Structure 1
Amino acid sequence: MDLDMNGGNKRVFQRLGGASSKDSNQKVCFHWRAGRCNRYPCPFLHRESPPPAPFPGSSSSTNNKRVADDDSGFAGSSHRRGPGSGNNTWGRFGGNRTVTKTEKLCKFWADGNCPYGDKCKYLHCWSQGDSFSLLTQLDGHQKVVTGIALPSGSDKLYTASKDETLRIWDCASGQCTGVLNPGGEVGCMISEGPWLFVGMPNLVKIFDAYLYIQAWNIQTNVDLSLTGPVGQVYSLVVGTDLLFAGTQDGSILVWRYNTATNCFDPAASLTGHTLAIVSLYVGANRLYSGSIDNSIKVWSLDNLQCVQTLTEHTSVVMSLICWDQFLLSCSLDNTVKIWAATQGGNLEVTYTHKEEYGVLALCGVHDAQAKPVLLCSCNDNSLHLYDLPSFTERGKILAKQEIRSIQIGPGGIFFTGDGTGQVKVWKWSTQPTAIHP
């Protein structure tokens, strides 16, 4: 073993930033940064940077004392040694130090094999906050969940994925009771009454949810296919008796429900966006569309004409919802914007909430005290719960990959679907009510 002139472990001494001719070549330990270094001694630094050089004229003994007094063998200067920690133990398990948790999920724990237990500096939990809890997890999809639907009056939950399947779940048992294969990658899915609307490449498929449940074993063909879209259908919404589909080519296709034939007849094609439409919402007799072209268009449901174009976002507009007289929009530009109507009737931004990462999806509820709560999913694999209008955070949900789908259910239940295909069922501690347009 290499010893320094004072009889210490030279490699450990240099790793902590002690005087050495090779200080300039010292690197931070990659495994320490990931929270899993188990080398004793480790030849690399267990700190983000070497300590500052001594002042000119200072003696090596003074410098050695400074290094010896430094707590840089642990994860940063904020981690102080506990009593009795002066022994020759280094790195993650040195002494009785308190581990300061980061805000990130431990990937090893999520996979079920974190070796550090309580000493891991990453979170070993799927959520933070006491206003909700995890009920169960629904496994089966192999790719990102693109839609979650609860048809009105049904005891079944439907989930859609880019793995080209729709899964049917029994709400009482949590068991998968059937798998539909619509014949292509599902870009989105919504429900309205007994109908399931599924957006796919070059068409919209419509299933009668109740008939499919009742006749699943005899393989009924009760479904409709609406052709006309160009490319993938990324968004769907129903307003009055109209079905709207946002498409890859930037157009919005419209169908009107025909009660006499029990079919959907083509009604219009709305153009104006220059790139794909990824979000649609109906509220206050308006259709709102968000696009990859960074804009939001406002359409009158009376004449299907565009009445305003909103261009304040600087990246893709991922999701839109209405709350009272406000429009809320989110974007990959790391913002959530609140829009309100002026006296002239046009929408203007009244507040911008900034996130550290791009925002993927919004969903709103009222809690048991009728206070609005915003569920806000970001592309750092987290979902934040904010009180409105203050944007005070009341909790956070973490996932292996980004949460793309959020759905509010009855009885204080809500659902999240992430990029790995996992669907999680959550329960509010006090029962909220859904925000409706």
Structure 2
Amino acid sequence: MDLDGGNKRVFNRLGGPSGAAAATATDAGKHQKVCTYWKSGKCTRFPCPFLHRELPAPTAATANGSGGGKRFADDRGFSGPAARRGPNFNAHNNSWGRVGANKVVRKTEKVCNFWMQGSCNYGDKCRFLHSWSLGEGFSLLTQLEGHQKVVSGIALPSGSDKLYTGSNDETVRIWDCASGQCMAVVNLGGEVGCIISEGPWLFFGIPNFVKAWNTQTNADLSLSGPVGQVYALVVGNELLIAGTQDGTILAWKFNVATNSFEPAASLKGHTLAVVSLVVGGNRLYSGSMDNSIRVWSLETLQCLQTLTEHTSVVMSLLCWEQFLLSCSLDQTIKVWVATESGYLEVTYTHNEEHGLLTLCGTPDFEGKPVLLCSCNDNSVRLYDLPSFSERGKIFAKQEIRAIEAGPGGLFFTGDGTGQVRVWKWSAEPATAS
């Protein structure tokens, strides 16, 4: 791999109050009463003197005087390297979309074009947004510049002090998390379609190969077999699994004796490119340009079910608790749950005005689950789960194709201009960024 130096941008991993402490810090300047207008979705005051959240019930931890935030992947039920939960049988949730009236409204929900160019003369009187976000409880820390094309993947390995971003400009950039400095640029010789991390390993999908890089030993492997671009990667049941351009799903197993990845399986069924993969429980879920989702057993590697309710490309998949969430260019997010027979069915459909590109789950500063979904109108919507109450929006100059949750309330977005933005959940209202 060829390395060369990168530019310098600074961001810090800021600490701050979380959980009950964060709620106390937020509530200190407000009446200890929930805003009745907010509950009915009609509050237009900004800032509002009353609470825009339900008062939390006391938990065993707070009752005993012990706190400590829960880890996102372990305790909030989203799928990820630390927890691979999927739909369980006989599990329904009747609150999907039932409390969805709370819509964030402030000015026109459009970023001022003149402000983006640094030339708006209206200042605070401008009726358009002078900010890259809309909503409270999160803020922009910094922007990382360097990629020349769309950012297609972001990875922050557990316990690492490095952030890895991949792009269609055929490079991976390595950022130091303490300083924000770009430490190196890795030239992969092909468009990076995706990045994931698992333990000390980083995996990159490029045309006709999966690159594997051990960050501890610097072992650098090329896994052949894919035909065309590798769009999606996931790890499950000790297998590295790749979704490829020709519709095939390939799997490799690591051989400790030879320190190499050996081909384990080739799953056929999709008729067009596989662009999304997620593992939940003992199931693999694959989304494709053929508009379908296939459910595979990780034990037998057999297809158990084909889901055909989407009418366009299934762009992204996410497991949360016992549910599978899928989004598509057909402008819908579908929530799936297993019936008594074990087969998945749609329990709720959320409609958007634009096609959907990427799903990511993250807890807010109180540890409540929030869904981030990128749309092809250059924005990301933030929703509480399971109510789909709107929490805010994030804007960009071009489509946001990569979203990744990090530790300590951090999350990251990468857009079509090559820009990576670092965001943080906080107890304080967000300021204009």
TM-score, with normalisation over the residues of structure 2? 0.73
Q: Name which of 247, 250, 255 aligns with 1:253.
A: 250
Map Cα deviations across residues 243-298 of structure 1 (whole Å, 9 max, x no partner).
Answer: 11100000001101112222110001001000001000001210000000000000
Q: Name which of 177, 180, 183 aligns with 1:177.
A: 183
What amino acid does structure 1 have at the position aligned with 2:132? W
What amino acid does structure 2 have at the position aligned with 1:126? W
Partner of 2:229: 232
Partner of 1:51: none
Deviation at 1:182, TM superposition (A): 1.0
Q: Name which of 408, 413, 417 aligns with 2:414.
A: 417
Q: 2: distance between equivalents of 1:326 and 1:419? A: 30
Does 1 or 2 have the higher relative contact order (CA < 8 Å, sep 6+)? Answer: 2
Q: 2: distance between equivalents of 1:246 and 1:411? A: 31
Q: Name which of 281, 286, 300 aligns with 2:283.
A: 286
Deviation at 1:368, TM superposition (A): 4.4
Describe how 1:344-423 pairs up with structure 2 within 5 A. Answer: 344-423=341-420
Q: 2: distance between equivalents of 1:154 and 1:389? A: 31
The answer on 1:103 being equivalent to 2:106 is no
Q: Name which of 144, 152, 162 aligns with 1:146.
A: 152
Partner of 2:119: 113
Describe how 1:177-326 pairs up with structure 2 within 5 A. Answer: 177-212=183-218, 222-326=219-323
What amino acid does structure 2 have at the position aligned with 1:330? C
Map Cα deviations across residues 196-221 of structure 1 (whole Å, 9 max, x no partner).
Answer: 10000011111122445xxxxxxxxx
CA RMSD of aligned residues (A): 1.5
Q: 2: distance between equivalents of 1:198 and 1:246? A: 12
Q: 2: distance between equivalents of 1:397 and 1:210? A: 35
Map Cα deviations across residues 173-205 of structure 1 (whole Å, 9 max, x no partner).
Answer: 111010100111111111111111000001111
Checking the alignment, whether the CA contact within 8 Å between 1:359 and 1:378 is kept in structure 2 is yes
1:109 match: secondary structure:
helix
Q: 1: distance between equivalents of 2:394 and 2:217? A: 35
Gaps of 5+ in 1: 1-99, 213-221, 432-437
Partner of 1:54: none
Q: Name which of 146, 161, 172 aligns with 2:167.
A: 161
Map Cα deviations across residues 45-68 of structure 1 (whole Å, 9 max, x no partner).
Answer: xxxxxxxxxxxxxxxxxxxxxxxx
Task: Say which one has the larger Rg.
Answer: 1
Q: 2: distance between equivalents of 1:418 and 1:210? A: 29
Partner of 1:21: none
1:133 match: secondary structure:
strand
1:309 match: secondary structure:
strand
Identity %: 74
Q: 2: distance between equivalents of 1:317 and 1:143? A: 23
Q: 2: distance between equivalents of 1:397 and 1:254? A: 35
Map Cα deviations across residues 380-426 of structure 1 (whole Å, 9 max, x no partner).
Answer: 11111101111001111111111111111111111111111100001
Q: 1: distance between equivalents of 2:267 and 2:273? A: 13
Checking the alignment, whether the CA contact within 8 Å between 1:151 and 1:209 is kept in structure 2 is no
Q: 2: distance between equivalents of 1:348 and 1:120? A: 46
Q: 2: distance between equivalents of 1:130 and 1:102? A: 16
The count of aligned residue pairs is: 323
Q: 2: distance between equivalents of 1:267 and 1:177? A: 35
1:288 match: secondary structure:
strand
Map Cα deviations across residues 98-131 of structure 1 (whole Å, 9 max, x no partner).
Answer: xx94211223322323344344432110111111
Runs (4+) off by over 6 Å: none
What amino acid does structure 1 have at the position aligned with 2:130? H
Checking the alignment, whether the CA contact within 8 Å between 1:154 and 1:210 is kept in structure 2 is no
Describe how 1:36-55 pairs up with structure 2 within 5 A. Answer: none
2:340 match: secondary structure:
coil
Checking the alignment, whether the CA contact within 8 Å between 1:288 and 1:298 is kept in structure 2 is yes
1:344 match: secondary structure:
coil
TM-score, with normalisation over the residues of structure 1? 0.72
Map Cα deviations across residues 341-389 of structure 1 (whole Å, 9 max, x no partner).
Answer: 0000000000000011001100112334442211111111111110111
Q: 2: distance between equivalents of 1:387 and 1:359? A: 17
2:153 match: secondary structure:
strand
Which is worse superposed, 102-111 or 275-284?
Answer: 102-111
Q: 1: distance between equivalents of 2:126 and 2:364? A: 34
Q: 2: distance between equivalents of 1:362 and 1:430? A: 24
